[in-house]
Amino acid sequence: MSRRNILVLVALIFVLIIVGLAGFLLLKTNTSSSQTSTSLRNANTQTKFQFISQIPEFKLTPNGAQNATLQEVLTKLGLYPFLNLPYIGEPGANGSWDGTQRTVSPTQVDVTIYPMSMLTNNADLQKRGLLTLNGTDGKPMIAYLAGHQSTDGKFSIPIYIEANSYIDFNKKRRVDIKLNQDVLMGFFLNFQVGPYPSGNQFQIFEDKIGGSLPGLLFDVNRN
């Protein structure tokens, strides 16, 4: 084989490796992030809601009852129509709230589920913590952080989950239903005036929505 043919062959192999690597990274990106969305009308405006998962174990897909479920739950929580809502803000240095009356009227709400590792390795994020629930191993399983509104009117609610611990903790119940409920818990924790009422916040939330969800916001495909 001539020197020229060898160089052509090497170049071809190099190109195939690059293309294969790019395809792998694209596939990984597509399978590690998923989202579903809906909108609710408020008087003369609409609020868009997006539910996003950055956790490969939880891939979200749309559910036909999404719009009706969201409106019913928000109504039970006293948050519909989605205008001039109380906003708890971030806890102070001592972990409490100053009681300041804040209101928001977001045009879009993004609820994003992140891997717990992104929180445990970020001390600045931890300062925005609202509520954390540990798993059976005594380590944080799900953590809710104070959301924030950007100048364009989008309100972001971050939730951090340790997937394996979460699945194990909820092995006696349907994980898709529990994840839907825990995502909606983020609305309850963010859109109220602090401090929180005494008692188990998860139980208070369940009591407000009538004990169970009327439907699902999204389906969950577990990888």
pLDDT tens profile 105-158: 999 999 999 999 999 989 989 989 999 999 999 999 999 999 999 989 899 999
Do strands 140-145 and 108-115 pair parallel, antiparallel, or not at all (unpaired)? unpaired
* C-beta separation of 214 from 67 below 8 A: no
Token couple for 190: 């963010």
Measured CA to CA, the distance from residue 82 to residue 97 in angstroms comes to 23
pLDDT digits (tens, 9 = 90+) for 48-80: 999 999 999 999 999 999 999 999 999 999 999
Helix (H) or strand (E) run with residue 130 in it? strand 129-134
Report pTM: 0.82
> What are the domain boundaries of the chain?
1-32, 34-221
Please state, rounded to an integer, the average pLDDT across all residues of the chain. 85
Q: What angle do CA 102, 105, 110 make, to 5 degrees?
A: 105
Q: What angle do CA 34, 38, 39 make, to 5 degrees?
A: 150
